[in-house]
Chain A
Amino acid sequence: MKKTKILVVGNGMVGHKFIENMLNSPQAETFDIVTFAEEPRLAYDRVQLSSYFSGSTAADLMLTSEDYYRSNGVHYVLNEQVTEIQPENNCVITASGRKETYDKLVLATGSYPFVPPLPGREQPHCLVYRTIEDLEAITESAAQSKIGVVVGGGLLGLEAANALKNLGLDTHVVEFAPRLMAVQLDEGGGLVLRKKIEKLDVKVHTEKNTQEIVAGEKCRYRMNFADGSYLETDMILFSAGIRPRDELARNASLSVGERGGIVVNNFCQTSVANIYAIGECALWSGRIYGLVAPGYQMAKVAVSHITGGADQFVGADMSTKLKLLGVEVASIGDAHARTPGALSYVYQDGINEIYKRLVLSPDGKKLIGSVLVGDTEVYGNLLQICLNGMDVPEAPEQLIVPASDGQAASGLGVDALPETATICSCHDVSKGTICCAVRDGATTIGAIKSMTKAGTGCGGCVALATQVMNSELTKLGVEVNTDLCEHFPFTRQELFHLVRVEKIQTFDALIEKHGRGLGCDICKPTVASILASCWNGFIMKNELAPLQDTNDYFMANMQKNGTYSIVPRIAGGEITPDKLIVLGQVGKKYNLYTKITGGQRIDLFGAQLDDLPAIWQELVDAGFETGHAYGKSVRTVKSCVGSTWCRYGVLDSVGMAIAIEERYKGLRAPHKLKFAVSGCTRECAEAQSKDVGVIATETGWSLYVCGNGGMKPRHADLFATGLDDATLLKYIDRFLMFYVRTADRLQRTSVWMDNLEGGLKYLKNVVIDDKLGIGADLENDMQRVVDAYQCEWKSTIGDAEKLKRFRTFVNSEKRDNTVVFVEERNQIRPANEDELVRFVTSTELETA
């Protein structure tokens, strides 16, 4: 049977969604899919575009891969624009002159950023914000600019302003209307938003009508406004709305709207029956939808129609919840109360700059709209009440007024929602689907995300999805067991608090008071780490000794054959030739395998227990300290050579790396901690893959947090920019101590942050804005740890009693005969099992 050929023009978010849905349909086999993409890559997540400025790469943003397309038999051509449709011939022509026929044509061409026709708009450094290439151009321009202006104070404009701010520019927003986000917000909301944004040092200019862009006096350009005023700037980012890309349809005489947009019916068909239009280029019932969720619905409808289904597109909800420049903003339904006779409730908190408005139907029973600025916690609930046509409570103001105990109003609760209620509109996930996932074993929001995709789009539904999950878990009688182990009915965090608050100093005291039994290899090291973080006592103290893993106990890393490796600290990776020689001599004398580690230091492997003290005596004499390679503690601060030598370096990255390593060495934590400092944005130290990453810029240090390599690599998030040395260390002090205090056992910083309610933003609140008022406390705690530091090895080799521990046998001077080495590449390595058998047999024969 001949397959039906579907040609998709545009491989953006919606075009890709269409293809994905098509491939997932039961009839997938009966179709051939071809797609032309004008951009140099397949679909990526435009919604998360701004995260590019906080560390995401183009690869992170990809929604699919060429592999996926190839293995599913989808033909794709990148960098290929379709220039003409010939509906009468059922074919299209591309820019390179290629002609391609189709049975069904799907237009998913999206939209382009509207640039007002101002004289001077076509100069360099006048940019738009839509594609990855745009982002690259913005980054490049920002590097040569000090001041940046965003034209347009709508949703995208504010996001663009955020980007400029992140790039370190003095940022301005110029808006034609009298307020920000005029489409989504009412006057009250717009005002509060403006105040909040101005506090962040973004200058807002409303009611400014730009007339022309001319050469500036102080800056590159000057923007002249209709009212005679002007603004000087080095770069301009236009974000003055979008226009549907309907030129192909228009030239092929398909019907288009008066103000643009390809007219479609409820099945997403255009005026030519075998041509569909979906996403931002489509005009349905006189409306263009500039959001991704309605586009996804259209994709679904078009697939359904092509495969013989009956789905219809009947409009979409335009409610949005966003974080703009860290300010929470949400708008639901009829935000402007345009419905005749609509009633409103407004809650305004001038001190905390919170604005909330409820718009009710004329009978006061139904919620038809809402505006929330500064606090959007109730968004999920309100949206559900609105979308599901539920009755509001007797006193509707309850929905937005904070409860008297300071907790946010809880609204109606997720239990009241019908199973069909859409929780995640980005991925069209219903309450029922989430509950199902819980019944199938999901108990964390991470599992919900991977099983249902809910929360992986704009992220706006995560709080609500979590509530649904928790409520379902409770219903199933599942109590998520967060106990550390059978000996302690507490989490690590809870134990940490108990230890601190009750000033508990020993494991025995803790288990007697709050636990049961003897303890195990889970709780003992955990408690040892807590005691060390809190009081930073000497880890070789007798009471602590039985709690430690062998690595901590012998202060070396056990290898597969029971020998140990030795990693002296080489702060910042800087080492003198003399010290290098010592390492070489020690390695040679004790016959150790030596290797440069991935952490810019040198590891000596294969030491027998009873050699450790002598080896360390030599190392300590030469000025080395322990590198804590064995502990859940600060490992390395990787550095690049920085401004001292490198022609591009802007600050002394080695100096800072050493300062950081010296400060935090010895800190015990829930998991290991890795740092790096780069001397410029070329990032040779790979700081963005570390728990704490520091990158030098012209305006000071940029701080990144919560990255890691390892099993599940994660890019660090940009945390703060333009820091001087003191502020940098202050933030790191607070960040680390807060992590030490609140993270779970073996939770690295990334996982910890992902599980913190409020995530990165909350962390910034705590560390930068000191929202909890514990900043000084955290710094003091850190100072105490810093002051109590001692090199564990140095203290140990001075203590004859402790050195006894390093005997191989309590009753013999003999060495461990299970340790057998063979030679490879001129160094030792542990014998493998085969070699071991052969070796043992031959020595036995010899002695026999």
Chain B
Amino acid sequence: MNAAELREIWVDVCESHELLPELGARALVNGEQVAIYRVRDNLYAIDAIDPFSKAAVLSRGIVGDLKGQLVVASPIYKQHFNLQTGACLEDNTVSVKTYPVREVGGRIQIGM
């Protein structure tokens, strides 16, 4: 059992098939905007707000890998964020929050 599954609150956001491979989706969870991704059958979730532009755009970035890290590129000024840790590759003083995410019974859920 990993840390994520120890969470008490899991918020149900959508059907599994609504989350397309390598295409981010955005969910509103307890008033927070969360960007969710499916990459090679794994799920990731980070804060959707781009710390550089303050716009909620990270679900709309291109997903890929850079130097061995899974990343999403902000569509505004193109910084990359690590999907697993939230760290910004271009500026190590900046990072975004990450969220636990899981797939249960054909539904995607975010841990709060």
Name A residues whose Cβ lies closer than 8 Å to a Cβ of B.
486-487, 517-521, 523-525, 542, 545-551, 553-554, 558, 560-562, 804-805, 808-812, 814, 816, 818-819, 833, 836
B65 cross-chain contacts in A, Cβ below 8 A: 517-520
Q: Which residues of B contact A547 (CB under 8 A)?
A: 62
The smallest beta-carbon distance between A487 and chain B, in angstroms, is: 8
- Sample of 19 A–B contacts (CB below 8 Å): A518-B22, A518-B39, A520-B65, A524-B64, A525-B62, A546-B20, A546-B21, A548-B62, A550-B57, A554-B60, A560-B53, A562-B53, A562-B60, A810-B19, A811-B27, A818-B55, A818-B56, A833-B54, A836-B54
B63 at the interface (CB under 8 A from A): yes
The answer to whether A545 and B20 touch across the interface, beta carbons within 8 angstroms, is yes
- B18 in the interface (beta carbon within 8 A): yes
In the bound complex, residues from chain A placing their C-beta under 8 Å from that of B70 are: 518
- Cα(A549)–Cα(B62), bound, Å: 7
Cα A542 to Cα B61 with chains together (Å)? 16
List the A residue with the shortest CB-CB distance to B78.
A521
Q: Provide the residues of chain B in CB contact with A819, threshold 8 Å.
A: 55-56
- Known A-B contacts A486-B66, A810-B13; the reply to A520 vs B73 at CB < 8 A is yes
User: What's the least CB distance linking A518 to chain B, in Å?
Assistant: 4
Q: B: which residues have CB within 8 A of A? A: 12-14, 18-23, 25-29, 33, 36, 39-40, 49, 53-57, 60-67, 70-71, 73, 75-76, 78, 80
Of all chain A residues, which has the CB nearest B58?
Answer: A562
Minimum C-beta distance from A623 to chain B (A): 29
B54 and A558 contact, CB distance less than 8 A = no
Please indicate the chain A residues that have their CB under 8 angstroms from the CB of B78 in the complex: 521
Task: Indicate if the CB atoms of B23 and A545 lie closer than 8 Å.
Answer: yes
Closest to A507 in B: B22
Least CB separation from A814: chain B residue: B28
Given contacts A517-B64, A521-B80, 14 further A-B contacts (CB under 8 A): A486-B66, A486-B67, A521-B61, A524-B62, A546-B20, A546-B22, A547-B62, A562-B53, A562-B56, A809-B27, A810-B14, A810-B25, A810-B36, A811-B28
Question: Is B66 in contact with A818, judged by CB distance below 8 angstroms?
Answer: no
Q: Please measure, in the bound complex, the distance between the C-alpha atom of A812 and the C-alpha atom of B13, giving whole angstroms.
A: 9
- A249 vs chain B, min Cβ distance (A): 64
Give the residues in chain A near B55, CB-CB below 8 Å: 560-562, 818-819
List of B residues within 8 angstroms of A517 by Cβ = 64-65
Contact partners of B67 in chain A: CB under 8 A: 486
Contact A816/B56 with A810-B26, A810-B27, A811-B28 known, Cβ cut-off 8 Å: yes
Query: Would A804 and B18 be within 8 Å (CB), given that A550-B75, A562-B55 are in contact?
Result: yes
- Smallest beta-carbon distance A307→chain B, Å: 51
Chain B residues with CB under 8 A of A558: 57, 60, 75-76
Check if A542 sits within 8 Å of B75, measured CB to CB: no
Q: What is the total of A-B residue contacts with beta carbons within 8 Å?
A: 100
Determine whether the beta carbon of B20 is less than 8 Å from that of A520: no
Asked whether A521 lies within 8 Å of B73 as measured between CB atoms, the reply is yes
User: Measured between alpha carbons, how far is A836 from B25 in the docked complex, in Å?
Assistant: 25
A812 near B27 with CB under 8 A, answer: yes
Question: Are B22 and A553 in touch, CB under 8 angstroms?
Answer: no
Chain B residues whose CB sits within 8 angstroms of the CB of A551 once the complex forms = 75
B23 partner residues in chain A, CB cutoff 8 A: 545-546, 805
- State in angstroms the CA–CA spacing of A581 and B13 once bound together: 41
Q: State the CA gap A545–B70 with chains docked (Å).
A: 19
Residues on A with beta carbons closer than 8 Å to the beta carbon of B28 = 809, 811-812, 814
- By a CB distance below 8 angstroms, the chain A residues around B19 are 810
CA distance A71 to B64 in the complex (A): 52
- A546 and B64 CA atoms in complex are apart in Å by 10
| Contact residue among B36, B49, B60, B80 (Cβ-Cβ distance under 8 Å from A818) | B49
Contact of A518 among B20, B26, B27, B64 (CB under 8 A): B64
CB of B66 within 8 A of CB of A520, answer yes
Among A523, A548, A561, A818, the one with the most B-chain Cβ atoms within 10 Å of its Cβ is A818
A550-B60, A562-B56, A810-B26 in contact; A818/B33 too (CB < 8 A)?
yes
List the A residue with the shortest CB-CB distance to B14.
A810
Residues A520 and B49 in contact, CB atoms below 8 Å apart: no
| Distance in angstroms between the alpha carbons of A814 and B56 in the assembled complex | 14
List of B residues within 8 angstroms of A811 by Cβ: 12-14, 27-29
Contacts of B57 in A (CB 8 A): 550, 558, 562
Smallest CB gap from B24: residue in A: A546
Bound form: Cα–Cα A353–B5 in Å: 81
Q: Which of chain B's residues have a CB closer than 8 A to the CB of A812?
A: 27-28
Q: B73: which A residues are within 8 A, CB to CB?
A: 520-521
Which residues of the partner chain A approach B56 to less than 8 Å between Cβ atoms? 562, 816, 818-819
In the complex, A519→B70 CA distance in Å? 10
Chain B: minimal CB distance from A554 (Å): 8
Could you say which of A542, A549, A809 contacts B26, with CB atoms under 8 Å apart?
Answer: A809
The reply to whether A810 and B54 contact each other, CB–CB distance below 8 Å, is: no
Nearest-Cβ distance from residue B30 to partner chain A, whole angstroms? 11
Please pick, from B21, B33, B60, B64, the residue contacting A520 in the complex, using a CB distance under 8 A: B64
Report the nearest A residue to B29, measured CB to CB: A811
Complex interface: chain A residues within 8 A of B26 (CB): 808-810
A519 x B64 contact (CB < 8 A):
yes
Which of B12, B13, B18, B22: most chain A CB closer than 10 A?
Answer: B22
> Which A-chain residue is minimally distant from B73 (CB atoms)?
A521
Residue of A nearest to B67 (CB): A486
